[in-house]
Every structure is written in structure tokens, then in C-alpha cells.
Structure 1
Amino acid sequence: MRTPTTVEKLRGLPWSYATNAANTVFSQFVYMGSVFVLFLDHLGLSKTEIGFVLALTPLAALIAPFVAPYTARIGYKRAFVLYYGGRKAVTVLLLLTPVILSAYGGRTAFWFVAGVTALFSLSRAVEETAYYPWLQEFVPNSVRGKYSATSNIFTAFTGFVSVWIAGLVIGHTAGLNGFMLLFAAGIVAGFVSVWACTFIPGGAPNPSEAAGERNLWAALRDADFRRYLLGLALITLGTVPLASFLPLYLRDLVGLDSSAVVFIQMGTLLGTLSSSYLWGWAADRYGSKPVMLTGAAMLVAQPILWWLLPRQMVWSLYPALGVAFLQGVGNLGWGIGAARLLFVTIVPTEKKMDYLALYFFWAGVTSGGSQLLGGRVLDLTKSIAGQWGPLMLDPYTPIFLVSLLMPLGSILLLRAIRGDSPFSTSQFAGLFLRGNPFLAMGSLVRFHWARDEEDTVAVTERMGTIRSRLAVDELLEGLADPRFNVRFEAILAIARMPADERLIAGLVKTLEGRTPALSVLAAWALGRLGDEHAHAALRTALDASSYRSVQAHSARSLGTLGDRSAVPVLLERLTHEEDEGLQVAYASALGKLGAVEATGPLLGLLGRCEDEMTRLEVALALARLVGDERHFIQLLRRLRTEPDTGAAQAVSGLARHLAEEGGISAEAQATLLLSAEAFAQNRMEAGVEQLLAGIASLPPLAEAGADDIRRVCVARLAVSPEPPIDYLLLLLFVLRAG
């Protein structure tokens, strides 16, 4: 048996889209949409009888385990095409319904329609049994989510148009004429679908699989498979009865006419169409399980919303369309996630015949059983009437309650199933709660469609500004881009993002790279992100990097991250390093870390530095050892803007503070006030002289290291004819903070 190549599979996917789109017309016009339910009701069937006819299709799946070897033996594709065409041919008989009804009456027409539906269902059961293994083969796992999304876009759009046409036809025709017209058009579309599917590759006969030893019990012993089937059953029991009889609820209780009921499906299809790409993309990127559970959570709300619809109002159609839209979104999320999980994680490829036959069998049993049960419940509860708070009590109330509880149970059960990605459901939901997900999605699209480097850089910058975790993969892709400017901008963007393990790992890889300009930026970004997972990589870069600039920025980031374990290394390097740039970086880190033991070396460095900005940075490091840097910066700004006024205000404030604390004599306070007056008159040297005299009798400062700083500053100011701003600034700060 030859397996098609990935290229052949990808080439065949458009034919699969065409097959599904054409079959959507058939389904909406004949068996699977509101049209068929209204057709059965028009024949005068009870809800139990309608449920019986609807249940025939899923219940036919009971034959799946028995026909699976046959489909493998003749080939999944051949079996599919043969029985796929057969079910379309059988459906032609439905066009005789008006003749049967006219000649033999309603009961005979009921059994005739049921018989045709049964033949259709049996043919469909064989076809679907062949389809699932074939589907697992011809769709590559790497694009399975994208395939589902794209297929759903085509089918939703086709379904949208089909429902619109069906609504118009039903609204403008009388009796069975409109139904027969739709059936005929659907059958034609069905045969087009049969033609298109012949171009899909794969599905060759597999005699070895057909003749191999079957062990259905082995599949059922698979704990994850059992959980999956039970979760599927709960979802089915909760959603299928509601979906099956929703057209009658909307017509009989909400008050919509038949054409409006058909139009409601347009809301569902619009929800499917608008969310298809998002769900498929999310499933491929973040895994099947979180997408599946998120979709299931959305289904929990559906029965409540349907239950609360305003009834017998002219405008009831519009909220109903809104609820249908949300239902389409939730249904598709569940469908894409559950299907992808089944094919990628749950079903072993070598045992797909047994697993998928059991899956189809079980899906049919639960779906058919739920439709039978739903119809019977509606007939038994037809006398219920009343109101409880805002909720109307009617025959559909039990259906709504079951539809609420069953998906909840399914979520609790499926949470324990093995996933296919490290993302949890809460993490997945959190992706859409941080930042702006709509702007993020737009940026992701523009990133992949960027024309040149300039566009890519601009989009990358925007992703950082939006700060959405949805952009993590694109930012990592930016880090690996061969264009330097894109990588540079990606690092800047990542620095603005919330901390993320994958982003940290990407920055660490860049830090360890051989492009020092980017390594320096990566070291800075790791510090800005503030995640402790960066400590080890930064310490390694500090010790082992051959680039001084990388060592310097690694030291600074370790200080920013508060890594106290780095203090001994930084202090040792500060005392032995000869490069002033590295010395200042170590000093800054030690200051941020509050390493009081570094006071002496920092004071020595301050005395050796000649550049003003360098001196101020070292002074700031010293200030951080004894107080709040905010006050240091505020004082610096005042001294820079108006040195005389700033110094005068600082000294007078110091005098008041010391007087309130009781730590200064009246004479010393008076001297400080004279200093403030001298500063105010722009007599800076006199102001410094009076300041030093006023503080000479002060007791030792309480903060560790503060007295050492005061002593050095006093000594430096005493011998300087022009008081350096850094020493004056540092002294005033220490006197107030220490």
C-alpha cells in the first residue's frame, strides 16, 4: 500500500474543501438543517416520530465496527466514494413523497420517508466508517487545525448562502413544493460533491489491516479513549436534542415564522465563518485540548440564552440571531478541538480502524439516542406551562436543563485527558485576556505578510506595544530572523512583554550568541522582564562572556533582578577590575542590591571617576545603600535646575528635620539656616562652609555605611573651591536619609 507524500496530500486538500462545500448544500437542503425538521413537521409527525426519523442517521453507525474491515479491504477511498454516491442516489426517492402522501396518506408517507432515511443512513454509516481513517491519512497533522478552519470557512460560507436561499424558498412557496425544490437542488450539489472527492489522494486498499487481528477491547481499555467517548456522550446528550428541536421551539414558542426559523441558521453559520480561522490557528499553535474545552465552556451558556429569548415579539429574530452566532462559535471551537485531539493524540495510527469504528459507533448511539429521547420528552412534557422568575416553564424546559448540565460534566471529565501541548485551558484563555487580542491578531497577520525589513520592524515594534501573549511565537520568529534590525526590534518588543518562559529562553539564546550588540540588548531585556529564570544565564554571561559590554549589562540586570547571590562576585570584580565601564556597571548592580559592604570600594570609585554622568551613577549607587533613590533623583533635579535655590531648600529642610528629631543643637541649627541663606544668595562656597560647620557636631548616622559616605563627602567638600554637585548632592541626601 503506497502512502501519499505530504506534497500530494497538500495538493489534494482543495478537493476536500470542494467536497465538503458541495455536500453542505446537500445537507442544508435535505437532511441536516432546519428544512428537514420543518418538512417532517409539515407531514404531521409528532415530536416522537420526528425524533425517530432524525435518530435513524446517527443510529446507523451501530454497523461501523462490523463494516470497518470491509472498508479497509476494498480501500477507504473506494468505499467512501461508492457509498457517498449511494446515499445521494437513495435521496432521489424523497422527491416521490408528495405522490406517496397524496395516494396513500400521512402514515404511509411517514414510513416511506423513514425508509428512505434509513437507507440513506446505512449508506452514510459505511461511508463515514471509511472516511475517518482516510481523513487521518490525507490531512498532515502539522496543518490539521488549519485544514479544519479552512474547510469550515468554505462550508460555513456555502451553508450561509444555502440557508438564505432555503429561507426564501420556504417563505415564498406553499405545501411541499418548496421542500421538493430544495431537495432536488441539494441532490444535484450532492453529486458534484461525489465527483470532487475522487481527486483526494490516499485511502488505498489495506488487506493487511483488514485481515489483522482485531481487538476492540484493547481500544476500550485505553483510559484516554474512554474519557473521550464519555465526554463526547455528555456533550452530545446536551447539545443534539436542543439543536434538533430548536426550529420547532423558535416557531411554536418564540413566535418566528418558518422562513425566519431557517434564517436563524445563518447566525450559526456566520459564527462558524467568523471564528474558523481563529479556532484552527489556535488548535495548531496551542493544542487541541484547550481549544476543545474552551468551546465546550461556551456551549454551557447556550441553553440559558435560548431559554431567555423574548417570546412573541416582532424583534425576537434579532437576539435569536445573536445567540445562534455565539452557538456557531462555540460549536466550532468544540468541533475543531475535539476532532484534532482525536486524530492527533487519542487514536494511534496503527490502530485507527478499531478506534475510529468504535468512535463512529459511539457517536451514532449517543446522537441517535439523544434525538429519540428528546422527541419523547417533548411529547411527555407538552402540558408543562408556567413561569419561575424570568424563566418560562414549558415542554422545552427539561431539554434546556439537560443542555446546561451535560456540557459541564463533559468539561470536568475531559480535563483529565492527555493533551497535545503544554498549554492549559486557563493559560489559553489568559492569552486573550492580556493585552488587546484583536490588535494582536491583526499584527500577527501583518507580520507574516510584511513586504520588507522596514515593515517587519514596524510590526514587531507594534507587537511589543500591544503586550499580548498571542504574539509570543512571532516574536521568537523575529529573534531568529536573519535581518539584524528585525532581531534588534524583537528584543526591544520582548522587553515590553509580560514574562514568558519561551521568551526568556529566546533571550538567553541571544545572550549566549556571538553578536555582542544583540547580546547586550538581550541582557538588558532579561533584567527588564524581571523573571528569576534569567538569573543563571546572566551569571554565566557575567563569568564567561568574552565581551566586556555583555558582562557589564549582565551585571546591571542581575542588580535589577535583585540577585543577592551575585554580590560576592560583583564585589570581588569591582575591587580588581581596571576597566572603568565595568567598574561602574558592578557599582550600579551593588547599589541596587543594597550591598552595604561595598560602600568603601564605591567611594573609592567615585573619587577616581572624572566623567560627570559616571560620577552621578556611582553616587546613585551609594545613595541606594542608605535610602530611597526617588528622593535622590528629586534632589538632583532641583540642584541641576537651580543649584542655589535647590541647595537652600534642601539645607533648610534638613535643619527643620533635625530639629524635630531632637538631634541638633540650637547653635548648629542656626548655622544650617545661615548655610541655607548663603545658598539662596548664590554664595555656594559660603553655603558649603556653613553646612560643614553646622553638621560637625551631629551624632553618628543610623544607616549602615551612611557615616562613611558622610565622612568622605565632608572631606571632599572641605578642600574643593568649587563644590562638586555629586558630593554635595550625596551629602545632603545621606544627612536626610541616614
Structure 2
Amino acid sequence: MTAASELTDYAKLRRMPFYYAYSVLTATAVLCGVGAPLVLFAAELGIDKDRIGLIGGILPLFQILGIASIPVVLRFGTKRLSALALLARYLFLLPLFAAPMFIDAPNVVFLLIFGAVICYAIGRTLSEVSVIPWSQEFLPRLVRGQISGNLAIAYLPVALIGSLLIQRWLDGQEGIERFYPVFAFGIIVGIAGALCLFGMPGGAPRPTTRTARDALAQLKVPLRDRNFLAFLYSSGSQFLVHSALAVFLLLFFRERLGISSGQIVLMAALIPVGSAAGSYAAGWFIDRHGTRAIRITLQSLQVAMLLGLPFIHPELPVVEFLAGMVFFLFGFLVQGAMVAGNIYMLNYVPPADRESYMALAYSSDGIFGGGLTVIAGVLVQYFEHNAFVVGTTQFGGYEVLFFVTALVTISSAAVFALLKEEGATGVRDFLGQFSTGNPLRALWGIQRSSSFTSEQRRRDLVYGFGGTGSTLAKDELISALSDPSFDVRHEAIRALGRLPPTPKAIRALETILDYEGLIELQYAALDSLGQLQSRPSAGKIAGFLADANPLLRSRAARSLGDIRDETHLPALRQMLDEDRDIDCRLAAASALGKYRDRDSIPALVAIYCAQVTDTHAVSEPRSKVVLLAIAKILGIEEKFARNWRREQRMPGYCLPGLLTRLAQNIDSVDTAKRARRVALEAAAAELGTGPTAASLSALRALRPDLAASRHADALLVIALLDGTTAIDNAHPALMILLAIAARQVLRQPTGSATK
């Protein structure tokens, strides 16, 4: 299909039911035909484990034919070839029905099963090597992870019911012939799945004038792509682990733990349960974060599971529960990791060369999963007869296999970490989302946000996302920035400011700053960027210091104070001195306090004096903004705020005690100092809720003591005293600040500077 006739995403999504039906029916056929029943069928016919490993490895091994099938795929088209090959492969399973007739001749039985599986593998290869590149054509890129998860969920009930029925049938009947109905049902369902392929879009023959030799020569393109070659190893080694465990995990529980074939089939139903959960979870996260972090995380957990398997033994009281958990985790971790690899390939492979790239990948997986699975069978067979003991644990064939596959998984994850993936989240950042806030609450809210909701409900959800403190919700909040509701957008901006900072969230907030005219949204974005302390945004924020709107100017100043980028300190000093709006000057004062800008003390004192002498009702609370800024610069913010709150609750209770404690820091040996100390104590004793003139005079009398101090803040406290000389009856807030600041200077005359 040419680029000009490329289907729209809407057209592709309309045909997805055919893809779901094909996938579910085909997976059901595998469950009944060449899954656990075939392994158990071969074991009951007396075939040795190494030969069972060979049978299990044939399917992936024959994937190497995918390379040779490239000319056929180009010639006949992916739809036609995949459907016909899928139909044919189930007919090749008919010799299985004849195998029990030769039960007394194990070699003949093996050859019958082996030959049937070889023919099945050829049809499977031709079908899948066509579907894989075709899927890049009909799967919308943005929801590939979601579709993978939906497929697993759709197959889940079929797998559970089918496994339960198979278990009941196998355990309720006797004789090898009890496997016949299972195989027959699998063949019929598989043919139905093949017919569904004809309802899917695309898949036409690719216009080409190349010969078969030319088509095969195109393999040099992926073979020269070092990044893709690294992917081939990572994908193939993970496929090897999947292929080996799919066979020998069943035999491990059957032979080591003595679980019956029927029970194993039932427990094996937890594999598709885990696969459904793993595929859905992996797909959901992949659409948001890319594939790297998800795959590496899942593979790390695989290693932990594999290293724990040798320690499961029949004497454990919950051994059957553990066996079920292992099957579930195997499906969850391995299938989830493979979904990540498949989506990476679909996203990475160039469409013009998809047949050569994907055929090579398919064949490479076959070499790993087929050829090396055969070696795994030999390994198990050898060490089962040559076991060794480590500590109290005996290591036979299965234990050695688990250890080796753990090493292979580690290498697979390490190589995948080196692959190129634009825009992907790193492993540390991905896992960090689960270590901050409440990730479970965030995930629950994300699921609820996808349903139909009213404006108020959407606003409540967005508000709740901010309360989770988890960056898992950042994509929903960023999406909410485009909500038709102004209130939802405003709440989303505020919520982003309450989450841990991420580059994506910061970029989204910066775009809001360009919404000229939407002052409330710009104001909220300035506030959130300040809370996130986004230094890269400081330049854009500083641009609002000259905005015509005083609200935006003041908010920009406060946000710069949160960020504390020294580059913009001069602009804030200028705003403090020159801005025509008093609220903007107070915002600059607050920001300079956060900067702890010592040079701005004189200007701050001047603004305080102007506000405290103003008779306007709002002037007095404005003055406290300046006092708090000065307290921050002097490093006594917490003491000042705590004592002022106490004074507010109980007027006349806190301030006298502060003055008394300050007097105790004055040397009483010197006569002049002793007189100042006595005067301060007397003023403190008489101070209540009335005028403060006497106590203020006693404080100012301490100027010589402050000047004699070598404390780094001594000159700043003197500037505060001198700057307020025009005030006769000081507000208690100023008295508290002076008392705490003076005590700090006199208490540590040789201390280090308060930065």
C-alpha cells in the first residue's frame, strides 16, 4: 500500500474487531493444540525430556525460514499468505491422532509428533512472518500498547474457561485417547481464526520489480543497523527464556512437586491470566513512557523469580499456591517484556523496509528460541543425572536451567537499555513515579478519568491528582489543559504545581504563559512553575516583571523568589524601588526575602515604615510581608513566625518574655551595659497590650552593644533599628522581630554569618 492510500486511524480502528477475533481464536487453538496438552501428551507417550525439548524448540527454530519467505510475502501480499498458511498449519496436526497407535515404538511416536510439529511450524512461520510487518500497517501507532493489552484481556476468559474444561476432561478420563477432543477443538478454532484475517485492512502485494534475489539482498539494510542488531539479541534472548520455560516449567512442577497433569493444565491457565495483566499493564505504560523502562523493570523481576524457583520443594505448606503464583508471574513478567519488545520494533522499523527488518527479527527469535531451547533440553537431561548440592539445595537439571535463564535475562535487559528510543522515560524516572506520593490513588483516578464525567467531576478528579503527589497522573493533567472547561484547565495547572517536577509538565506549563489575555491561567502557571522551582523557566517568568497587569507582575516576582535564580535578582531590586503598584513592590520584597538578599535591607525597611505609618486598613497586614522578608534574610523566619502567632493568640504574653531573654544576653559587669539591661528588663515587666514606646526605646539603647558585636548580621540589625527611628510606638510584630534579631547578634558575637 502506498503512502497516498494509507488508511486513517479511524478506518483502522473500525477493523480492530477482526484482529481481536483472529488473535483470540488463534491463541485458543495454540492452548489446545501445541500448548501444555502437547507437552503432556508426549510425556505420557514416554518420550524423553531431551526429545520433548527438541519438539518444543521446533516451532521457534523454524522461524529462521522467515528470511527465505521475504520474496513470497512481497509477491502474494501479507493478507493472503498469512491467512492461507494459518489455515494449512492446523491440518498438519492430524498425525497426532495416529501417534498412540505406535505407543510400543517410542521412536515412531517421536517421529510422528516431530514431523507433525515441523509441518505445523512451517505454516506458522509463513503466517506470522506475514502478520508481523502487516501489523505495522493496520495498528495505529499511538495506541499499540493499548491494543496489545486489550488483546490479552479479551483472550483471558477464553483461556480460563478453556483450561478449566481441559483439566476436567483430562483428569476425568483415562487413556491417551482423552487428548483427541482437545486437539480436534484446537484445529477447528484455529481455522476460524484464520478466516478472520480476510476482514482486516491492507496486506496487499507490494508493488516491486525486484527479483527474489534482490528482495533477499535487502537484508543488508537491517544487518548494517547496529541498533537493530542489538535489539535482535535482546529480543531473541528474551524469547529463549519464554520458549524454554514454557516447556520445562510444566515438567518441573510435574516431576519435582508431583502435581498431576490435569492440575498443571489448570494452573497453567494462570499463565494467560498473568499474560493478560502483564500485557495490559505494559501496554498502558508503554503508550505513556516508551518501552525501555517497562521492559527492563519486568526483566529485573524475572531474574528475581528465576533465582527463587530452585527453593520451591514439596515440603512447603503452600506449594500449590506458590506454583500458581509462579505460572502467573511467568505470564505477567515475560509476556509484558515481550510486548515491550514487539512495540519497540513496530515503532523503530522503517515502513519502506519492514519486511526485511521484521523477517530478520522473526527468524532471529527462532534461532534463539528454537535452537537454544533444544540445548536447554540437553542441559536439563544432563544435570538431572549429574546433580550437585549447594548448601542445602540440590541443583539438578531444572535448577541449573533457571540459573542460566536468569543470566540470559540479565544480558537481554542490559542490551535493551542501550537501544535508541526517542522520548522514552528512563528506568530511574519511571520507578521514581511509584516512590513519590500515592501511586495507587493516582492509577485509580486515571482509570476513572477515562469515563464520561461532568465538568464538576472532572474538576474534582484533577484536584485529586494534585493531592496524590504522583507523577503517574501528569499525562492526565497535561491533557486536562485542553479541557473545554476553564475551571478544569485552571485546576489542572494548579495540580501540576503540586506534583514532583518533570520536563514534560514544565514544558506544558510554559505553553500556558503564552496564553495572552487569559490572565487567570497565566497567573496559575506562574505560580505552579514557581512551586516546581523550574530554573529553566526563570527567563520566561522574568519577562512578566514588565507586564502591564500588576497581578502577573507580582506573581512573577514571587515565583522568581521560589526559584532563586541569581540572574534576575537585579530586576527584583528594581521592582522593589520603582514599581508603581505597591502590591508588586511587596511581591518583590517577598521574593528578595526568599533570595536572602542582604543588600535590600535598607529598601525593605523604608517600605515598611511607609506602610506602618499609612492609616489605610490594608497597610498594617502589608507591613508584615516586609517584616517576614527581613526575617528570612536574617535567618530567623521560623522564630519570628512562631512568636508572632503566639502573640496574636495571647496578646501581651509573648513579647515581654522575648525582651526579658534578650536582656539576659547583655553583660552586666560593665556599668553602662548593666544600666541598659536593667532598663530593658523594666520595660519588659511593664509591657502589656498598651504602647510600646518605652520598650522600643530600651531596645534602641542596645545599639552600642550591637555595634560592638562581630556577628555577620550585626550591621543589618543596626540598619533595621536606624531605619525605624521615625516610629515612636512600634507594632508588636516589629518589636518581636527586633528582639529576636538583637538576641541572635548578642548571643553569638563571634559566630559565623547567617547566610
| Normalised-by-shorter TM-score class | over 0.9
From 723, 728, 747, give the equivalent of 1:712: 723
1:496 deviation in Å? Answer: 1.2
Q: 1:604 to 1:373 in 2, by over 3 A?
A: same
**Structure 1 CA distance for aligned equivalents of residues 399 and 696 of structure 2:** 90
Q: 1:575 to 1:690 in 2, by over 3 A?
A: closer
Q: How many residue pairs are counted as aligned between the two chains? A: 728
Question: Does 2:221 correspond to 1:221?
Answer: no
Paired amino acid for 2:644: L
1:649 deviation in Å? Answer: 0.7
Paired amino acid for 1:583: R
Question: Does 2:267 correspond to 1:260?
Answer: no
Choose 700-709 or 326-335, whichever is displaced more: 700-709
Equivalent pair of 2:295/2:413 in contact (CA under 8 Å): no
**Structure 2 CA distance for aligned equivalents of residues 178 and 492 of structure 1:** 64
Percent identical across equivalent pairs?
A: 25
**Structure 2 CA distance for aligned equivalents of residues 605 and 314 of structure 1:** 76
Equivalent pair of 1:255/1:312 in contact (CA under 8 Å): no
Q: 1:49 to 1:210 in 2, by over 3 A?
A: farther
Q: 1:560 to 1:664 in 2, by over 3 A?
A: farther
**Structure 2 CA distance for aligned equivalents of residues 664 and 7 of structure 1:** 90
1:312 deviation in Å? Answer: 5.1
Q: 1:379 to 1:599 in 2, by over 3 A?
A: closer
**Structure 1 CA distance for aligned equivalents of residues 572 and 26 of structure 2:** 71
**Structure 2 CA distance for aligned equivalents of residues 349 and 441 of structure 1:** 34
1:266 deviation in Å? Answer: 2.1
* Residue 39 of structure 1: aligned partner: 41
**Structure 2 CA distance for aligned equivalents of residues 399 and 477 of structure 1:** 47
Q: 1:619 to 1:303 in 2, by over 3 A?
A: closer
Q: 1:662 to 1:24 in 2, by over 3 A?
A: farther
**Structure 2 CA distance for aligned equivalents of residues 737 and 482 of structure 1:** 55
* Residue 650 of structure 1: aligned partner: 658
From 532, 535, 543, give the equivalent of 1:532: 535
* Residue 330 of structure 1: aligned partner: 333
From 646, 660, 685, give the equivalent of 1:677: 685
Equivalent pair of 1:658/1:664 in contact (CA under 8 Å): no
Written as runs of structure 1 = structure 2, the 5 A alignment for 1:63-212 is 63-98=65-100, 100-101=101-102, 105-208=105-208, 211=211
Equivalent pair of 1:668/1:697 in contact (CA under 8 Å): no
From 302, 305, 317, give the equivalent of 2:308: 305
**Structure 2 CA distance for aligned equivalents of residues 709 and 693 of structure 1:** 10
**Structure 1 CA distance for aligned equivalents of residues 209 and 586 of structure 2:** 72
Paired amino acid for 2:543: T
**Structure 1 CA distance for aligned equivalents of residues 668 and 507 of structure 2:** 53
Equivalent pair of 2:636/2:740 in contact (CA under 8 Å): no
Q: What SS is found at the alignment partner of 1:412?
A: helix
TM-score by length of 2: 0.92
Deviations 1:90-130 (A, max 9, x none): 223323333x326x743322222222222211122211222
1:699 deviation in Å? Answer: 4.3
Equivalent pair of 2:271/2:332 in contact (CA under 8 Å): yes
Deviations 1:658-713 (A, max 9, x none): 24898972222111111111015x55457436635753653426423221211233
**Structure 2 CA distance for aligned equivalents of residues 589 and 661 of structure 1:** 43
Q: What SS is found at the alignment partner of 1:392?
A: strand
Equivalent pair of 2:256/2:313 in contact (CA under 8 Å): no
Equivalent pair of 1:73/1:209 in contact (CA under 8 Å): no
Q: 1:660 to 1:17 in 2, by over 3 A?
A: farther
Equivalent pair of 2:237/2:408 in contact (CA under 8 Å): yes
Paired amino acid for 2:102: L
Q: 1:567 to 1:133 in 2, by over 3 A?
A: closer
Q: 1:307 to 1:716 in 2, by over 3 A?
A: same
TM-score by length of 1: 0.94
**Structure 2 CA distance for aligned equivalents of residues 467 and 692 of structure 1:** 47
Equivalent pair of 1:35/1:179 in contact (CA under 8 Å): yes
**Structure 2 CA distance for aligned equivalents of residues 380 and 185 of structure 1:** 36
1:210 deviation in Å? Answer: 5.9
Q: What SS is found at the alignment partner of 2:47?
A: coil
* Residue 54 of structure 2: aligned partner: 52
Equivalent pair of 2:658/2:736 in contact (CA under 8 Å): no
Written as runs of structure 1 = structure 2, the 5 A alignment for 1:526-565 is 526-543=529-546, 545-565=547-567
Equivalent pair of 2:66/2:363 in contact (CA under 8 Å): yes
1:209 deviation in Å? Answer: 7.0
* Residue 676 of structure 2: aligned partner: 668
Paired amino acid for 2:166: A
The answer for unaligned runs of 5 or more in structure 2 is 746-755
Q: 1:658 to 1:415 in 2, by over 3 A?
A: same
**Structure 2 CA distance for aligned equivalents of residues 227 and 661 of structure 1:** 82
1:37 deviation in Å? Answer: 0.7
Deviations 1:513-543 (A, max 9, x none): 2211222222222222223223212211213
Paired amino acid for 2:261: S
Equivalent pair of 1:570/1:586 in contact (CA under 8 Å): yes
**Structure 1 CA distance for aligned equivalents of residues 543 and 221 of structure 2:** 51
**Structure 2 CA distance for aligned equivalents of residues 17 and 664 of structure 1:** 94
1:4 deviation in Å? Answer: 3.8
Paired amino acid for 1:656: Q
Q: 1:22 to 1:627 in 2, by over 3 A?
A: closer
Deviations 1:602-627 (A, max 9, x none): 22211222311001112222333334
* Residue 522 of structure 1: aligned partner: 525
Paired amino acid for 1:130: S
Equivalent pair of 1:72/1:130 in contact (CA under 8 Å): no
From 684, 687, 702, give the equivalent of 1:695: 702
* Residue 30 of structure 1: aligned partner: 33
* Residue 607 of structure 1: aligned partner: 609
**Structure 2 CA distance for aligned equivalents of residues 3 and 520 of structure 1:** 44
* Residue 732 of structure 1: aligned partner: 739
Q: 1:198 to 1:172 in 2, by over 3 A?
A: same
**Structure 1 CA distance for aligned equivalents of residues 566 and 686 of structure 2:** 43
* Residue 286 of structure 2: aligned partner: 283
**Structure 2 CA distance for aligned equivalents of residues 441 and 141 of structure 1:** 23
Paired amino acid for 2:255: D
Equivalent pair of 1:292/1:334 in contact (CA under 8 Å): yes
Q: 1:558 to 1:112 in 2, by over 3 A?
A: same
Equivalent pair of 1:710/1:734 in contact (CA under 8 Å): no
Deviations 1:282-339 (A, max 9, x none): 1111112222222222222232232121225564111111122222111122111100
Paired amino acid for 1:567: L
Paired amino acid for 1:215: Q
Q: What SS is found at the alignment partner of 2:199?
A: coil
Q: What SS is found at the alignment partner of 1:643?
A: coil
**Structure 2 CA distance for aligned equivalents of residues 314 and 654 of structure 1:** 70
Q: What SS is found at the alignment partner of 2:647?
A: helix
1:436 deviation in Å? Answer: 2.4
**Structure 2 CA distance for aligned equivalents of residues 689 and 149 of structure 1:** 73
Q: What SS is found at the alignment partner of 1:387?
A: strand
Equivalent pair of 1:23/1:193 in contact (CA under 8 Å): yes
Equivalent pair of 1:714/1:731 in contact (CA under 8 Å): no
1:386 deviation in Å? Answer: 4.8
Paired amino acid for 2:354: K
Written as runs of structure 1 = structure 2, the 5 A alignment for 1:435-474 is 435-474=437-476
Equivalent pair of 1:152/1:273 in contact (CA under 8 Å): yes
**Structure 1 CA distance for aligned equivalents of residues 386 and 672 of structure 2:** 89
* Residue 619 of structure 1: aligned partner: 627
* Residue 751 of structure 2: aligned partner: none
Equivalent pair of 1:43/1:106 in contact (CA under 8 Å): yes
The answer for unaligned runs of 5 or more in structure 1 is none
1:55 deviation in Å? Answer: 2.3
Deviations 1:708-733 (A, max 9, x none): 2112334412xx4xx43344334323
Written as runs of structure 1 = structure 2, the 5 A alignment for 1:372-411 is 372-411=374-413
